[in-house]
Chain A
């Protein structure tokens, strides 16, 4: 099942999550706009209360906004439907060679943006994993799923304030109480499980106007979600174009508001996507459950975590048979039509960590996985997670002098570069190995 909008967790997980929320200290601020923001107790008295000793000289006057245009393809910025995004790109710094990182899904790439490290360090390789401890496939939406500090927490410790405005329920879940100020939507669209961009935009502008965090991390979900809500695929193109137009308009309004409020000159605006988007047709569905189950070695001893364009296969049998099983799983997967490649999860380039299981199977462009059930698990055509959805837009606008207008770089920019870029902008000292990504400033 593509888990973009499907939040799954059993009773034990819910209990843990509740415990995490109870343990946090927070208060709810109702902004003049009527929107409610959750804020850390310490922060309500102002950022000066926190981390005074670690304050970075000059950082107080800086602002950074990370706008994740969820699921946007880089070519869509050139489509004519996004004049504001394109103008921001052309007047800022632009990396044409930019990609999402495996698995090309929403949660792991948002986590990479804020941690600056790959999943083998962050602990978040995919949207859906098989939790060996719980014995079930679940969505990675727990604050405790992230094993390393985020740049959000680093800024907080330096006395700077942070905000998250995340349109998707599972992103709200996994980033939890980390930011100084959080918008937690009260309304999610059924099926897509996201808040529409108009609401997200209102939350963003309200948070900026009234709480003015130094860093705001924003997810705009509409463009991605139209790929998931129309299971027939017939209205997809029109819906997507409408979403592009709408989101672009909101981004334009946000930039205008930064300029009119005087924030523009001290700001950078990082715009990127978490992954690209691909569309499958109804006949191009891969289900590995049955062929793996039919193998005597594997029967009853594996679990699949379906991530739309990527299946994570977990060996649950005896450890002594693991290596043989991995070989068999890869053989069967790669002989299945529509499969691009089945990787041993330990392949160095993947860097996914043990949470991603034993074999990572990617589909070809135009296909999708539907596991365990070939019909009901993943009926939607819009899809990502596989290499055909790697390319993303990535550019940095803003009026701060660090933004070199019109600069285009051939360097390979990645989602994992966002945290080190933010750290660099705010002057945080960073050890050589602290991040897997690189500052793009």
Chain B
């Protein structure tokens, strides 16, 4: 994401008075007082970061906390369970153990622990199909990450961990269909940009309550690096729940602690436990607007950038249910771009558009750098890999889904009110002050790469390419022309892009404070970009993507007040692309659950 809103004069490392451990207050009671200051911290949020996790259904202690004798004791599995990167016969399992109260994340304390894991066909674990032991220690922050193998394709399983006399919550997973299978459909929850300080993860709660999904796609900005109050809710950066640590994450301990604080969120825990996730990162998993050798939010006082990034990647590998460099092992590489196949119906190629990219072009103003063919957003190796994903011979699946951290559809502009340009940029980074037609942090800032990808699609007449995107804190449905000027006439479109909104991170109205301005902006953008069929600058929420051989449909759901843990969830719109067309059309009703 391009930019953030900081209150004037607000210190970089603003902190607040967190609630004491165990001070569990009803969240809604506290939040009823409203957000009052840039660094306001709700007591409930503070409690959340340090108290036992609350289950998604509202009951306490679902995550465990009792030993085999039924006696309350120190909780070994505080951070929930997760699974990820489903294959037909293997799924990655994750948890973190806290062997002693002192062995807090990032602390380096606590001895080695042997953790038993089990995968079963039934919730009571009478039909265990795969099990084993995993040795973890402080060297890996007591995280557990392994590939459970020997599973059957397209099958639901339950899994759990046991250590130090305690059992973890039970998670559920679903393996991918076999390589040549033809599943009737695939259905994914789609999310991005989940800023803990900006609100409750209601979209996660909503997705966890659904029973019709196969996996979750998270398109980046899973967590944020800022200090408490550095990037909160709305114009005043209200802190709905505080980050831990309270300062910007820079050291390995910081990154570990920040991951841990997110993993304490009950809605996040519920969604991780309910479905396997497929994730990629955007910039905030390291720091804002990162590129291959630096970042906007990094300076010399924070040390060598690449060392910082290595620490961020290390913590990510420890704490996230992803196969980096194709394995569950640590220390074997940080390659996150990877393919996951779902039979003959679809393949998801998750991109890493931060680690190999050249530096963003300067802002503001027209900068010819954006079309310099020597610059890349993917890097050469990943570009070759992406092109291979699109044209993999006779046995490639029908739908080529690209998990895309930043938007690829071109966005051009006519006249927009000057006083709206800066707020739009704060959210999207789309508009330089002179209205030049690109966002230099997304594919619009690397037009040679975009042309190479879309040209490759055109040269090989690849059909059913679907980019699923996050980052921009707004909902979009777009066709993908090579030439926006002729697209209305000839209708050339080489794919489709569906962009999900943010879970909680600020959008346009949050920053302008003027909700009535957003329709004006949306209308102007739609009028100047005929290939963009839908745009919602003002909502937070999630999407549900359903893929069949006949079409791919995305539903956009929006939430109400981010600061209300029980805020309502509403279906907003649905769009589909019919197979073979590269076109986007509105659909009247959402998917049936």
Contacts and interface: CB of A to CB of B under 8 A. Distances in A.
Interface of A: 74-75, 78, 94, 96-97, 99, 276, 340, 349, 364-365, 386-391, 408-412, 414
Interface stretch (B60-68, B90-98, B370-378, B457-465): B457-465
Contact of A410 (B344, B391, B458): B344
Contacts of B178: none
Given A408-B548, A410-B344, A390 B460 contact: yes
A387 B461 CA distance: 7
Contacts of A78: 578, 580-581, 583
Nearest to B463: A391
Interface residues of B, number: 29
Given A365-B458, A387-B461, A409-B549, A96 B582 contact: no
Nearest to B460: A387
B395 interface: yes
A435 to B, nearest CB: 14
B345 interface: yes
Nearest to A412: B394
Contacts of A389: 461
10 contacts: A75-B582, A96-B580, A364-B459, A387-B391, A390-B461, A408-B548, A408-B550, A410-B343, A411-B182, A412-B394
B495 interface: no
Given A96-B549, A390-B460, A412-B394, 18 more contacts: A74-B463, A96-B463, A97-B463, A97-B579, A365-B455, A387-B391, A388-B460, A391-B463, A391-B580, A408-B548, A408-B550, A408-B579, A409-B549, A410-B182, A410-B343, A410-B346, A410-B397, A410-B399
B393 interface: yes
B487 interface: no
B396 interface: yes
Nearest to A407: B549
B131 interface: no
B341 to A, nearest CB: 12
Which 4 residue pairs across A and B have the least CB separation, nearest first?
A96-B579, A410-B398, A408-B549, A408-B550
A173 to B, nearest CB: 29
A97 B581 contact: no
A22 to B, nearest CB: 41
A77 to B, nearest CB: 8
Contacts of B579: 96-97, 408
Contacts of A96: 398, 463-464, 549-550, 579-580
Nearest to A90: B550
Interface in B436-460: 455, 458-460
B459 A276 contact: no
Contacts of A411: 182, 344, 398
Contacts of A99: 394
A364 B460 CA distance: 8
Nearest to A237: B490
A412 B550 contact: no
Nearest to A386: B459
Contacts of A409: 182, 549
A410 B182 CA distance: 7
Interface in B326-355: 343-346
B461 A412 contact: no
A340 B452 CA distance: 12
A97 B459 contact: no
Nearest to B395: A412
Contacts of A386: 459
Nearest to A411: B344
A409 B550 CA distance: 8
A118 to B, nearest CB: 11
Interface of B is mostly: loop
B355 to A, nearest CB: 29
Contacts, number: 72
A340 B580 CA distance: 23
A99 B578 CA distance: 17
Nearest to A392: B461
A100 to B, nearest CB: 9
Contacts of A390: 460-461
A390 B548 CA distance: 22
Given A408-B548, A410-B345, A97 B461 contact: no
Contacts of B397: 410
Given A96-B549, A97-B464, A410-B343, A388 B582 contact: no
A439 B95 CA distance: 47
B398 A75 contact: no
Nearest to B393: A349
Given A411-B182, A412-B394, A340 B463 contact: no
Which of B394, B460, B548, B579 has the largest number of chain A CB atoms within 10 A? B460
Contacts of B580: 74-75, 78, 96, 391
Interface in B454-482: 455, 458-461, 463-464
A249 to B, nearest CB: 22
B298 to A, nearest CB: 41
Nearest to B391: A387
A411 B399 CA distance: 11
Give the most central of B345, B346, B455, B550: most A CB within 10 Å.
Answer: B550
Contacts of B399: 410
Given A74-B580, A75-B581, A412 B460 contact: no
Nearest to B397: A410
Interface in B564-581: 578-581
Nearest to A77: B580
A74 B345 CA distance: 18
B344 A388 contact: no
A61 to B, nearest CB: 30
Contacts of B394: 99, 349, 412, 414
B461 A410 contact: no
Contacts of B344: 410-412
A387 B396 contact: no
B182 to A, nearest CB: 6
A410 B581 CA distance: 15
B459 A387 contact: yes
A387 B462 CA distance: 9
A409 B579 CA distance: 11
Contacts of A276: 461
A411 B180 CA distance: 8
A365 B343 CA distance: 30
Given A96-B579, A414-B394, A388 B182 contact: no
Nearest to A104: B461
Interface in B397-440: 397-399
Contacts of B391: 387
A34 B578 CA distance: 44
Contacts of A408: 548-550, 579
A389 B393 CA distance: 15
A74 B395 CA distance: 19
B345 to A, nearest CB: 4
B537 to A, nearest CB: 31
A94 to B, nearest CB: 8
B529 to A, nearest CB: 21
A390 B582 CA distance: 16
B541 to A, nearest CB: 29
Contacts of B463: 74, 96-97, 391
Nearest to A391: B461
Nearest to A276: B461
A324 to B, nearest CB: 27
B284 to A, nearest CB: 35
Interface centre among A96, A99, A408, A410 (most CB of B within 10 A): A410
A349 to B, nearest CB: 6
